[in-house]
Amino acid sequence: MLPHSYTFDSLSQTQDLTSAILASNTPTTISATCASIDSFLHSHSPDQSRHFFSITFPTLICKLFGFDDATSPSPPPPPRKLQHPQSNGWIELASQSNHPDFSANIFSLLSPNGTLMNSISAVDRHSLVKYVFPIERLPVWVRFMLSNEKACRVLSDLCRLFKGKVKEDSIKGSLCQIQLNVIEYYMFWFAYYPVCKGNSENLDSNSVKRSKKFRLENWTHSIRGFSGLNKREMEQKFEGNLYIQLLYAYLHAFVPIFDLGAHQPYRSSILNYSLKCDGSVIFRAEFLVNVFVHYWLVDNDFSPLPVNVCKSFGVSFPFRSVLGETPPTSGLGEAVKLFVKYLNLSSVISTDGFGKIEHSESPSWRVSGGFDSGKSRDVVSLCSVGSWNSWIQRPLYRFILRTFLFCPVGSSIKNASQVFSVWVTYMEPWTVSLDDFAELDAIVNGSSKDVRKQELQSEASGYLPLWQGYVLSNYLYYSSLVMHFIGFAHKFLHTDPEVIVDMVISLLTSSKELVDLIKNVDTVFHSKQAVSSKSTLNSTYRVVPSIQEQLQDWEDGLCESDADGSFLHENWNKDLRLFSDGEDGGQQLLQLFIMRAEAELQGISGDNLSHGLKLIDSLKAKVGYLFGGSMVKPIPISPELRQPQHLRDEIFKPRRVGNQTLANITYKGDWMKRPISDDEVAWLAKLLIWLSSWLNESLGLNCPENTDVGSKWSYVDVPGDAASASGPGEAMKTLVCLMGSWLLMMGAMTVRLMRKHGLRVNLRVLASKKVVMVLLLSVVFSVFKKAFGLFHR
């Protein structure tokens, strides 16, 4: 036991450090405080550091990320009331600062091999400190789970990230809470920071008028192949982003991309400590990957876990009605791209092993319980052959698809373009090499070189047959997701035609081997031929059941809705239709896209016109190569007709152009379910659509009238003595029955006529703002009239 005086001295120094952290707001004072923290932890044992992690560490987290709880001189509680990160956070200040030493001091404090992380490792090894993480800062789907007592009990079994971390609240009784050790607590906040920042920026951007244009040069750097960002600009972006540097350092240190015997530069620090498990490197890597997956990719997804896992536990998520069509958090593109690109390095290094795991179930979902020594064998063996890809397949697919489907009409597509870049990077792992991380390695490790990196340095190449297993296991990325993106491109073409066309060009491949593989799988998928061992496509037949299961699971609940105006609303891609010949197939949609894009780009004047025409020629070449031959015929447009507005009306008319509402909307599909326009009250339109659908279903107006069956009238024989009604009461009753029968007959005739002519009830016209305004003014006028009438009396 420590002497009382020594313990008091440690507590006093901890309180002084807390005050110093609170007062540090400039590069000079922050650097001095970082040095003081390092000196304190270096000179104190883990038991003596308990006060630091109990009192000072939450304050340090608040100041690092700019959370606004660290404002009072007293030790703050865990940052619960966070609204959004402030611009005076240390990481944000370091990213904006021109002083490299300032950023280096903070990086040194938080680096995986720094004194702080070594102290965290020692404290957690002895389980000296535990934190309760605020529920409102957890991923959205986890918050809903914790609000239900029954769901709390199975959360740790459903999601391995929370295995052993869900505890009963000792104060509130039945409610659950998430208890974390020090490193888990820090990593949760580290993953939450860009989510909170993205939500804050999204709120700020909503205050900007929709008519404000986001020009091409401001954000085309996020799309591969654009000339707006050269290598030097990429280096400067990494150099000035402390968060990205720390993210890469943690991934490099804690998530191995080689086998378990591979050299890891930070193995001497935090990798050695245990989380009440076997203490393996793989368990630490699994934890970190799961944290980023659930905070960045899953988060507000209403189907956060695979359908078969939920069925096995008898759990259903009623999140669809709560979350609705909520897109993923914006602003995560850069971090997610680095995360995905790094994990795909394991595929690059161990490509030869993909033939063994190409059709296996995702290991992250196969084991329902927590991590233990008996189950670690599966994870170790999978990671040794590059299995990190299978951990992110489903979450990343739904992240990309939800971004495209739920992107609000009239908003900037900057975030969608960043997610598009992530998608293209994931689909082309053969373009990823260790050289892509050279600049980050230089920042993180200085001039040191990794031995394995020197051995594996090579220039990025194109698709090769050895990548067949990767493509087959991720086939929906190359087929179904492409169809959804074509719908997105149609929907947002009018916002910035050049950028959208360039995105489509970047998406379409020119590799003959890859195109042939995708076509062969599509042919087998739609073939009714039975599986035969003699078939030359027998190896391809084996992936069809897996693709069908993935299609049902990965796109669970995701479809173009009734009100978002998606181009594929009437023909949701429930099947693989990229190479279909129908009107909802990829070939027809791409041809229509080319015609629309040509019409849009020909309306551009100046030097951009020639560039736009070159884009169209390149797009035609790519589409022709994909489907074979010259499949696209140019449309002649005379100078007199070169009016973008007129051409949009004839070919495709978006719901909005800036703040302008278009009167004659060419909408393919149910007119009652057309996109909600600016001259309608949105909530009232949705209510009247539902009411109209219910009336049409109840009256049978959705079914056509059967002309083979003639109308049959029912007759009732009336007794002779009933013809003369006795008394006025009986006469009145007879008159009422007669009127009622007449009304029923007229109603039946009206319904029959509506069925015959294909008419349906449509109350949506009442949702017009003009109609609502007239009714509102009538009510107000009536109220005032009655009020003045009473006053005059």
- Distance between CA atoms of residues 592 and 81, nearest Å: 50
Residues 6+ apart with CB under 8 A from 215: none
Structure tokens, 791: 């006053």
User: Which phi and psi angles does 703 have, rounded to 5°?
Assistant: -105, 140
Regions of the chain with pLDDT less than 50: 1-6, 70-77, 80-83, 207-236, 260-278, 352-386, 448-458, 529-536, 561-571, 573, 634-669, 707-716, 718, 722-723
Q: At what angle do helices 27-42 and 4-23 cross, to 10 degrees?
A: 160
pLDDT score at 453:
47
User: Which phi and psi angles does 477 have, rounded to 5°?
Assistant: -65, -30
- Buried b / exposed e across 644-681, counting CB within 10 Å, b at 16+? beebbeeebbbbbbeeeebeebebebeebbbbbbeebb
CA 620 vs CA 144, 490, 517, 590, 594: distances in Å: 47, 16, 21, 9, 7
pLDDT score at 274:
38
Q: Residue 701 in contact with residue 762, Cβ under 8 Å?
A: no
Domain ranges of the chain: 1-69+87-127, 130-203+234-260+278-351, 464-529+539-560+568-635, 682-701+729-791
- Distance between CA atoms of residues 332 and 335, nearest Å: 6
pLDDT digits (tens, 9 = 90+) for 298-350: 999 988 999 888 888 888 777 776 777 788 999 999 999 999 999 988 877 75
pLDDT score at 657:
37
| Owner of token pair 């090579």 | 458
CA 327 vs CA 149, 195, 323, 422: distances in Å: 27, 13, 9, 16
pLDDT digits (tens, 9 = 90+) for 340-351: 999 988 877 755
Q: Residue 473 in contact with residue 358, Cβ under 8 Å?
A: yes
pLDDT score at 451:
37
- Distance between CA atoms of residues 58 and 82, nearest Å: 13
Structure tokens, 535: 């078939």
Q: Which residues pair with 661 in a beta bridge?
A: 656
pLDDT score at 760:
78
Q: Count H helices, E strands: the chain?
A: 38, 5
pLDDT score at 416:
92
Nearest one of 46, 42, 57, 48 to 11, comparing CA atoms: 48
391: three-class secondary structure by DSSP: helix
Residues 6+ apart with CB under 8 A from 703: 755
Residues 6+ apart with CB under 8 A from 475: 518, 521, 543, 547, 550
Q: Which residues pair with 168 in a beta bridge?
A: 176
pLDDT score at 632:
55
pLDDT score at 178:
93
Helix-strand-coil split of the chain, %, nearest 5: 60, 0, 40
Alpha helices in 43-181 (DSSP H): 50-51, 57-65, 90-96, 100-110, 115-125, 140-146, 149-158
Q: Residue 285 in contact with residue 262, Cβ under 8 Å?
A: no
Q: Residue 239 in contact with residue 91, Cβ under 8 Å?
A: no
